[in-house]
Structure 1
Amino acid sequence: MIERRITTELNELLDTYPAVVLTGPRQIGKTTLALSIADVRPSIYLDLESDADRAKLADPELYLDQYENKLVILDEVHRLPGLFQNLRGLIDRGRRAGRRTGRFLLLGSASIDLLKQSGETLAGRIAYLEMHPIDGFEVPQSDLTRLWARGGFPDSFLASSDRVSQRWRQDFIRTYLERDIPQLGPRIPAETLRRFWTMLAHYQSGLLNAADFGRSLGVDGKTIASYLDLLVDLLLVRRLEPWHANVSKRLVKSPRIYVRDSGITHTLLGLATLEEILGHPVVGASWEGFVIESLLAAAPPGTQGNFYRTAAGAEIDLVLMLPGQRLWAIEIKRSLSPKAEKGFYQACEDIQPEKRFVVYPGSERFPLSAGTEVVPLSELGQVLSGTS
């Protein structure tokens, strides 16, 4: 059992709000985490993918009103988006009776933005929290390479062998394409979406060019945008937007695209072992995506993540705007003897960050130049967590 850092934050939100939505991809450990909370709080659990449990909610207020003094955990809540309206009445009645927090824990596999649309009627009564795969700060330094190679889905990371891990990820991809996505409504051929997802893995950390993808798949740019929106909404792909500062430079306007889990990236590319990954051209981009996901997971709430790139070649892999308008510039290197290119220093001159870091897979922290430090991923995560 890996202790998830998000547990503390989730409990704090349950002690503050009547309802909390916990989002994240399927198989990421949301249900396991929720049930661990149910072990210490009086609770009931309903899985909305179960016909029997959905039948209990034919009249939601009538059924749930009898559990006024328990935490109600509703899994896969996006299956019943109309439920949010009913929860409002229950929450307001509970408030009048003195029960102001910890009424509902709602688990969903869609993005926070999608669920917020459904939950607009609960404004002021609900908090949203995104659960990420296991990240680089939740495992020992000695397990970091295995985590990067296999990815952060618990069953993949903890598998008994690389072969078993790869098989789990293959099944995960197939299940999403053939079962989960059609349940959400889009009628996209599974093979077309697999090809697109695989293309994104090949272009890991690249700038989005919808026209190029469209020509490869035989569809137009708007269709590519809809495919991408779907994978972003399912929390499987990250669209990292460019940083737009008040600088007199021609800035790149296209977002960068990352398959969010490094293990899924490797499986889409047919890479089953660390040796195969290290010998593939995607190795640097895969490590970059892994570091970005870990840092964004560890960043304090309200942190904004972007990249910076000018037409002249000045570039920063990750720009973090921390609460309080504190700006950090982060360069990501796979090498054990990392160096920052001229473009990084030029970009830092443009945006004047408070701190400058070069992240690498080593274990020592040392200065690289005036104002720039080389830091291990695990140490930067501790620094970042301490800024909240």
Structure 2
Amino acid sequence: MYHRHATQTVQSALDAQSAVVLLGPRQVGKTTLALEIAGQRPSVYLDLERDADRRVLTEPDLYLDEQVGKLVIIDEVQQMPDLFKTLRGQIDMRRRKGARTGQFLLLGSASNVLLHQSAESLAGRVRYIEMPPLLLDEVGEDRMNDLWLRGGFPDSFQADSDQNSLAWREDFLRTYLERDIPALGPRIPAATLRRFWTMLAHAQGGLLNAAALAEGLGVSGQTVGRYLDLLVDLMLVRRLQPRHENAGKRLVKSPKVFVRDSGLVHALLGLGSLESVLGHPVIGGSWEGFCIETLIAAAPIGTEPFFYRTSAGAELDLVLRFPSDTIWAIEIKRTTTPKVSRGFHLSVDDIKADRKILVYAGEREVPAGDGLRAMPLATAVEQLRNL
């Protein structure tokens, strides 16, 4: 068991809101977290993928009326979309009786679908929280290479060998492609979506080139957009948007695309060991994506992530704009040499960044000139957590 940062986030949200929706891909640890919380307060747990639990909610109001005073945890809630209207009535009824917080914890594996289903019914009554895979400061800095290679899905990370970890991720990919995605409605051949996902892994961290992807798959650009939207909605792919507020510059306006879990990147490319990753052309994109996901997850709630690139080639790998409007400019390099290009400093001036950071493969934080601080990933994470 690892202490998950999301546990405290969910507990705090339950103390302030009637219902909390915990979102995340399958197998990311949502159920484990929910059962941990259930052990700390009167609770009932229902899994809507089990027929017996679905039958319990055949007359949902009758059942939920008996659970007043308990936290009701409903797993895979998107399986019963009509339930949201019932939950709205239950929340309003309990509010009239003075119970305003900690009533329902809803777990879902389909972000956009779930948000669409619940937005109208539970508006003003619910808080949404995304749960990422295991993070560096949850497993420890000494396990960083394992986390990068295997990714953060707990069963993959905790496998007893790299070989078994890779086998788990292969099964995970197959299950999503053959069962989970078709269950959401899209009629996409599993082999086609697997090819698309693999193409994204090969281009990890590159600018989105929908035309090239469409040509490679033999489909239209519109179809590529639909495939990408699906994987983004499932929280399996990140579309990192460019920052383009400087009207005086010719800026790149295409997003960068990352497969969010580094372990899935490596599984899609058949890379089962650290040595195979280190010798593969994807190493730079894989490391950048791993760092970006780690840093975004550690940033305060409400932080907006971007990248910045001019047509002349000046670039920032990651720009974080915090709710306070403070801006951090972050360069990511898998090198032990704490140096950045002139384009980095030009970009920093363009966006008027308040802090300049180089995340590198060294072991200590050092000054790197002109206000730049070079530091290991774990140090950058710690500084973000302390904001």
TM-score between both structures, scaled by the size of structure 2: 0.98
What does residue range 131-146 of structure 1 map to in structure 2 within 5 Å? 131-146=131-146
- Dislocated runs of 4+, deviation >6 Å: none
Is 1:103–2:103 an aligned residue pair? yes
Measure the CA separation in 1 of the matches of 2:84 and 2:305: 30
The one-letter amino acid of 1:116's match is L
Number of the residue aligned with 2:84: 84
SS in 2 for 1:302: coil
Measure the CA separation in 1 of the matches of 2:206 and 2:306: 14
SS in 2 for 1:374: strand
Number of the residue aligned with 1:359: 359
Tell me the CA shift for residue 133 of structure 1: 0.6
Q: Which runs of 5+ in 1 are unaligned?
A: none
CA contact (8 A) 1:137 1:294 kept: no
TM-score between both structures, scaled by the size of structure 1: 0.98
SS in 1 for 2:36: helix
The more displaced of 73-82 and 212-221 is: 73-82
Measure the CA separation in 2 of the matches of 1:26 and 1:161: 22
Measure the CA separation in 1 of the matches of 2:24 and 2:286: 20
Number of the residue aligned with 1:153: 153
Measure the CA separation in 2 of the matches of 1:211 and 1:60: 48
Amino-acid identity (%): 59
Measure the CA separation in 1 of the matches of 2:240 and 2:82: 31
The one-letter amino acid of 2:381's match is G
Tell me the CA shift for residue 362 of structure 1: 2.5
Measure the CA separation in 1 of the matches of 2:65 and 2:308: 51
Number of the residue aligned with 1:128: 128
Measure the CA separation in 2 of the matches of 1:219 and 1:63: 48
CA contact (8 A) 1:247 1:350 kept: no
CA contact (8 A) 2:246 2:350 kept: no
How large is the RMSD of aligned CA atoms in angstroms? 0.9
Measure the CA separation in 2 of the matches of 1:106 and 1:381: 29
Paired residue total: 386
| TM-superposition CA deviations, 1:152-209 (whole Å, max 9, x none) | 0001111100011010000000010011111111110000000000000000000111
SS in 1 for 2:52: helix
Measure the CA separation in 2 of the matches of 1:361 and 1:122: 45
Is 1:24–2:27 an aligned residue pair? no
What does residue range 194-343 of structure 1 map to in structure 2 within 5 Å? 194-343=194-343
The one-letter amino acid of 2:155's match is D
Number of the residue aligned with 1:119: 118
SS in 2 for 1:86: helix
Measure the CA separation in 2 of the matches of 1:81 and 1:132: 24
Measure the CA separation in 1 of the matches of 2:91 and 2:136: 37
Number of the residue aligned with 2:73: 73
Tell me the CA shift for residue 14 of structure 1: 0.6
| TM-superposition CA deviations, 1:66-99 (whole Å, max 9, x none) | 1011101000111122211110100011011111
| TM-superposition CA deviations, 1:306-349 (whole Å, max 9, x none) | 10001011100000000111111000011112321121111111
Tell me the CA shift for residue 115 of structure 1: 2.4
CA contact (8 A) 2:42 2:70 kept: yes
SS in 2 for 1:330: strand
Q: Which runs of 5+ in 2 are unaligned?
A: none
| TM-superposition CA deviations, 1:85-133 (whole Å, max 9, x none) | 110100011011111111100000112x432222222111100000001
